[in-house]
Amino acid sequence: MLDSIKKKEELESKIVDLERSLKTLKQQLMDEVEEEQHRDIDHLEEYLDEVDHRYGNMKDFWHIVRQELRERFAKKKIAEGKQNPEA
């Protein structure tokens, strides 16, 4: 009986410790995330430049879309070739 009560108390104490540790870790994580956000904000000038160079982004994007389209058509042709080997 006494052993059971002692064990429960130990477990409850461990749970309290774990919860305290979890809270501390969450706080540390939040501090780390906020620190990273502050560092990122310090690069704001670079991000402002991105707005001015957005048309360059479209060119890049179009180049990648064309590549993907070519790959898709090539895969489709191979798949069709496999389905109709006689052709």
CA 79 to chain centre: 33
Alpha-carbon gap, residue 81 to 52, rounded angstroms: 46
SS3 19: helix
Touching another protein, residues 16-75 (CB under 8 A):
30, 33-34, 36-42, 44-48, 50-51, 53-58, 60-61, 64-65, 68-69
Cβ neighbours of 80 (radius 10 Å): 10
CB nearer another protein, residue 9 or residue 61: 61
Q: Binders of another protein: how many residues, by CB under 8 A?
A: 29
Binding region for another protein (CB under 8 A): 30, 33-34, 36-42, 44-48, 50-51, 53-58, 60-61, 64-65, 68-69
